[in-house]
Amino acid sequence: MDPEGTWTLRGYDTFADESYPLEGEFSTQADAEKAAHSLLQELEIEQPSSSSGGQTGEQDRVYIIRPDGTGYRYLAGDRASD
């Protein structure tokens, strides 16, 4: 069961070393993870692993922020449905 409240997403620009808000508010962790997964797919197009080093290199990162304000980094394959 998800905690009550809103789940959100934040991006992290590894090159500039700064975080930034991402669009969307989600009522469940699963919905936030689906959106984060889609964002990682978009990042792979915009910042291909072949030139950015991917998620272990300089490609931007996606974090899921829980309703209590804590968060965690989302990586491809993290979705509960994967």
Domain extents in the chain: 7-74
Residue 47 near residue 60, CB atoms below 8 Å: yes
User: Is the predicted pLDDT of residue 81 greater than 60, yes or no?
Assistant: no
CB 61 within 8 A of CB 39: no
What is the 8-class DSSP label of residue 38?
H
Residue 71: phi and psi, rounded to 5, are -150, 175
User: To the nearest whole number, what is the mean pLDDT of the chain?
Assistant: 85
31 versus 44: which is more confidently predicted?
A: 31
53-63 pLDDT tens trace:
666 666 789 99
User: What is the tens place of the pLDDT at every residue in 62-74?
Assistant: 999 999 999 999 9
Other CB atoms closer than 10 Å to residue 57's CB: what's the count?
12
Q: In the predicted model, is pLDDT for residue 1 greater than 80?
A: no
**Total-model pTM:** 0.81
